[in-house]
Amino acid sequence: MIHRLADVQSDKIGEGTNIWQFCVILSGAKIGRDCNICAQVFIENNVVVGDSVTIKNGVQLWDGITIENNVFIGPNVTFTNDLHPRSKVYPDSFLQTVVKEGASIGANATILPGVIINKNAMVGAGSVVTKDVPPHAIVVGNPANIAGYVNSDKGSSSEQCSTVKTSMKSIAGAILHDIPVVNDLRGSLSFAESPQHLPFVPKRYFTVFDVPGKEVRGEHAHRTIHQFLICVKGSCSVVVDNGYGRSEVLLDKPSKGLHIPPMLWGIQYQYSSDAVLLVLASDIYDADEYIRDYDEFLGMVKK
């Protein structure tokens, strides 16, 4: 359905798509099937919109923007495509902005050019996105920072779009261990021995500290290496993703240790200002051990 008050110049509109009044869609735009383009939306020439996309009122999509399938764009979301705009001065090419499958962008958010909003991410209303948003991340604020992670790929209900903090022993395939602590008048001591407390014999350790509270660490998986994480001071949150769902645990005392086996995607964020994270690894450093692309990780898991 194309409303009689819409100006649609493109003939590349998928079956089942509705375009409402006062929309302007230029001739080069490509729009997929079963989309809902609400009133007063402007779509420029070099724009690709996938299938089952919802674009609410007052949104403009400029040259260089790609919207993948099943994306929700809230009312008055502002996209940009030029970091240094001047009247009548045009760059040789516009920066490419991509909103990947299943992502949602809340009302009045601003998206700077050249940004990738990854799969199933959620951008809070009014946020200003200045850098790439990781898969499943929930970002808010100006500039937008990670506030949590979506727990499920299925649907978008409020309970599925909140982080899950759990003290369960099994966390998306990782195992939370209780580490012994000895307290007396001289202070406290925690210890771990293999195999009683540590599930492997470490060959390497490293510590992470002085992390700005808004920064994110990790965002990778290992092919064969096991890791054991202990926050020996302060606290940080750890998200573990097995490719089908993810859970989050708060490491906030030396008596908690999290074993992350191979082929689990791990993220650490929300570091306290005094946090010191100790990581024990089952083997020495090898750059080829890392899987840093989330889509590659998903492909390997599903094989």
Looking at residues 196-222, what average pLDDT do you find?
91
Q: What is the residue-averaged pLDDT of the chain?
A: 90
State the pairing for strand pair 187-190/181-184: antiparallel
Q: What pLDDT shows up at residue 136?
A: 93
Kindly provide the residue ranges of all beta strands, DSSP E only, lying in 88-127, ordered along the sequence.
Answer: 97-99, 104-105, 110-111, 116-117, 122-123
Amino acid letter, residue 205: Y
Count the neighbouring beta carbons within 10 Å of the beta carbon of residue 280: 21
Element (H, E) at 247: strand 246-251
Looking at residues 215-221, what average pLDDT do you find?
92
Q: What pLDDT shows up at residue 168?
A: 39
User: Which residues are marked as active site?
Assistant: 220
Q: Please give the order of strands across the beta sheet that includes 174-178.
A: 170-171, 174-178, 256-260, 227-233, 276-281, 204-209
Angle CA(207)–CA(137)–CA(210) in degrees, nearest 5?
25
pLDDT tens digits, 154-204 = 333 333 333 434 443 566 789 998 889 988 767 889 988 888 888 899 999
Distances (CA, A) of 188 to 149, 180, 182, 185, 234: 34, 10, 6, 8, 15
Q: What pLDDT shows up at residue 169?
A: 59
pTM of the model: 0.80
Residue with tokens 């490419």: 96
Nearest CA among 224, 225, 222, 256 for reference residue 238: 256
